[in-house]
Amino acid sequence: MDLDKLLTETRSPYVDLDTLSTREILAVINAEDKTVPLAVEAELDNIAAACELILASFQRGGHLYYVGCGTSGRLGVLDASECPPTFGVEPELVTGIIAGGNPALRTGIEGIEDDPVQGKTDLIAAGVTNKDVVVGIAASGRTPYVIGALTHAREIGAKTVAVACTPNSPIAALADVAITPLVGPEVLTGSTRMKAGTAQKMVLNMLTTTTMIRWGKVYSNLMVDVQPTNSKLIQRAYRIISLATGCDLETAKAAFAASHRRPKTAIVMLLAHCDRQEAEELLARADGFVRDAVALSQNQ
């Protein structure tokens, strides 16, 4: 492997970085970070294509799997872990697989990333099938563990997506859709937890958020499937119900209680002027889309 040929390993122009003041270092990092959204913007068509693959998978009962090592793996686990409380989905719907397992979330276990067989093994252990989408994440685009996972995913007929920050990467060659935000050299040469990591997090957030919106987990711009599992989230549920329906907070609280603590159901109850059972029936007929459920009630 020739690191000099990888965009993510190219030396940055900031060769006097260690001579700068604290404020000057921060200004350099901030200036480079501003370029990341533009690199992601250039990949919007590919991100959209990946979202369509994931949506189709969910619609046929499939799942989304993120696979990565180090920072890339941690970002996949992070995005996956935030889907259940945000969108009310089962924990198994989006899964993050990191080389080295849970210990690697806190401690660097770098050697395992060189083992493509382990990537395949971990995917098999997770129960990936041909209904699923596997997203391989690697800033360099050439991590053997991720290559092994994507190779296996293709062999069993799963759809594959690659997220890399280097052009013409090996993982891109294994993907149905390749997402390649080219963020360029890192301020601290080779430290891809910085711009590359930021770009990866932006992309993963886009994949799940956009897919969930398209899957009926959002009404307007509101998290109507939020899981009210603590005081903050209960208060958020009240506010979401109020914003969605225009009702006052006390009405929202009463609807929340009557809906068995399901904000989406409470919203339909208020907008369609119906009880909990009818609201749930309307949502079932509308595949979970609040707008469609309310429209159905008006057409009855």
Rg over alpha carbons for the chain, rounded to the nearest Å, is: 22
From the list 52, 82, 278, 281, the catalytic residue is: 82
133 and 158 in contact (C-beta within 8 Å)?
yes
Q: Give me the catalytic one of 9, 43, 113, 280.
A: 113
113 in catalytic set: yes
Q: How far apart are CA 165 and CA 201, in angstroms?
A: 12
d(CA 222, CA 199): 25
d(CA 208, CA 204): 6
Question: Minimal CA–CA distance to 62: which of 162, 160, 157, 129?
Answer: 129
- CA pair distance 24, 293, nearest whole angstrom: 55
Q: Which of 240, 201, 238, 247 is nearest to 218 (CA)?
A: 240
Q: Nearest Cα to 189, choosing from 6, 2, 39, 1?
A: 6
SS3 219: strand
Contacts of 101 (CB under 8 A, 6+ apart): none
Active site residues: 82, 113
